[in-house]
Amino acid sequence: MLHGPGDLRVEDVPDPEPAAGEVLVRIEAATTCGTDVKMWRRGHPILDAYPARFGHEMAGVREDTGRRVLVGDSVACGSCRACAAGRPQICRDARWVLGGFAEWIAAPEAALHPVPDGLDAAGAAMAEPLAAAVHAVRRAPARPIAPDAGVLGGGPMGLMLAAVLVAEGRTVTLADRHAERRAQAEALGAMSAERLADHDVVFEAVGRPEAWRAAVQACAPGGCAVMVGGCASGSDAALPTRPLHYDEVDVRGAFHHDPEEVDAALDLLASGGLDWRMLATEPIGLEELEAALAAGNDGPARKWVVVPRATVSP
Ligand SMILES: [Zn+2]
Ligand SMILES: [Zn+2]
């Protein structure tokens, strides 16, 4: 439970009570991402009032049917302007589903996705971020128009983008200053570079204003920059006007995913389209979560795999 910014406690709490439309799911594995670090350090607008549950990449077993499921982290309202326009990923009134770092979660049935046979829980949990990569790639011009893709940033999201693009048959170059991450990109079938230039489409997966600028500068004339990395709230990015005007470079945002993209991500994981084990640590328990979030990440890209189990005696 988060009790405030920087205040994470492992506690024995009553089992959640499913409300109408909810199902109790026993978490098998939850994976960490940068958003979890932000939630722990600084708080986050989508957290419930403290003490708040968190963890949003999670898979487990339905208590009622015994079926293995990915618990999606949001349910769109279905009626706002964005939903009406067929863009539930930017729903104005989404219900967020947080609480993967726990033994049990009461989740809306509408958030559940069946896990394909043979896919590990940790791999299934990664369908959440991978779905965002699937969505980002769909925001870009399709492969025949944009066969050559650059990815800026070799963290888990950048590597997932590279994997989706490689699976589509695009030529992919990933740029990162860490040699370990460039090696991970190459293992996924991409090329690697220290910087990008002259690509049909560039995916920004760093989340810093300088990287947004670099993504625009790395587009070929007529290209498209897709901004996947969220910058600190309130930040502005200064973009060069020349490529936007004279080269007609498009700039598009990509945020989150829709339920069909989650299923597509699960299928991609089950078929081996992303070697998720490359990104996974050895499993840790809840009591090791705080140290894991604090550890930072300066080597190869990785996601901590949290396997919740009872650690607090009554
Ligand atoms: Zn995440
Ligand atoms: Zn909506």
What number is the average pLDDT over the span 275-298? 94
195 CA from centroid of ligand 1 (Å): 26
Other beta carbons within 10 Å of 255: 14
Residue 310: what pLDDT? 58
pLDDT band at 296 (very low <50, low <70, confident <90, very high): confident
- Of 142 and 312, the one with more pLDDT: 142
How far does residue 94's CA lie from ligand 1's centre (Å)? 16
Give yes or no for residue 313 having a pLDDT over 80: no
Report the separation in Å between the CA atom of 243 and the middle of ligand 1, taken as the mean of its atom positions: 32
Q: Percentage of residues in the chain with pLDDT exceeding 70?
A: 98
User: How many other CB atoms are there within 10 angstroms of residue 78's CB atom?
Assistant: 12
Residue 23 has pLDDT above 60, yes or no: yes
Q: Which ligand gives the minimal distance to the CA of 79? A: 2
CA distances from 215 to 178, 188, 225 (A): 18, 21, 6
**Which ligand is nearest the CA of 75, by number?**
2
Q: How far is the CA of 91 from the centre of ligand 2 (A)?
A: 4
Neighbours of ion ligand 2 (CB under 5 A): 76-77, 80, 83, 91
Question: pLDDT tens digits, residue range 113-142?
Answer: 999 999 999 999 999 999 999 999 999 999
Report whether 212 contacts 253 (CB < 8 A): no
CB 113 within 8 A of CB 263: yes
CA of 98 to the centre of ligand 1 (A): 11
- Residue pointed to by tokens 């589509």: 168
Arithmetic mean of pLDDT over the chain: 96
Q: Report, as an integer, the average pLDDT of 164-183.
A: 97
Distance 90 CA to ligand 2 centre (A): 7
* Ligand 1 centre distance from Cα of residue 128 (Å): 7
pLDDT, residue 308, reads 93
278 pLDDT higher than 90: yes
Contact 47, 8 (CB under 8 A): no
**Cβ neighbours of residue 233 under 8 Å, at least 6 residues apart?**
none
Tell me the pTM. 0.96
Among all bound ligands, the one having the nearest atom to the CA of 94 is 2
Residue 90, pLDDT above cutoff 60: yes
Give yes or no for residue 314 having a pLDDT over 60: no
The ligand with the least distance to the CA atom of 30 is 1
What does the block give as tokens for 61?
């077993």
- Joined together, the tokens standing for residue 248 give 């007609």
CA–CA separation, 309 and 303 (whole Å)? 19
What is the distance in A from the centroid of ligand 2 to the CA of 264? 21
Say whether the peptide bond before residue 156 is cis (omega within 30 degrees of 0).
Answer: no
Across the range 146-175, mean pLDDT stands at 97
Checking if the pLDDT of 262 tops 70, the result is: yes
What is the whole-number distance in angstroms between the Cα of residue 161 and the centre of ligand 1? 14
Q: Of residues 110 and 309, which shows the higher confidence score? A: 110
Q: What is the C-alpha end-to-end distance of the chain, expressed in Å? A: 16
CA of 242 to the centre of ligand 1 (A): 34
* Sequence-separated (6 or more) residues with CB below 8 Å from residue 272: none
Asked whether the predicted pLDDT for residue 306 surpasses 70, the reply is yes
pLDDT tens digit sequence for 32-48: 999 999 999 999 999 99
Say yes or no to pLDDT of 311 above 90.
no
Separation of CA 136 and ligand 1 centre (Å): 14
**Does residue 196 carry a pLDDT above 90?**
yes
Task: Report the separation in Å between the CA atom of 97 and the middle of ligand 2, taken as the mean of its atom positions.
Answer: 15
Q: What are phi and psi of 267, to 5 degrees?
A: -65, -40
> Which of 156, 174, 194, 192 is closest to 275 using CA atoms?
156
Q: Which residue has the tokens 């020349």?
A: 242
Q: Residue 218: what pLDDT?
A: 98
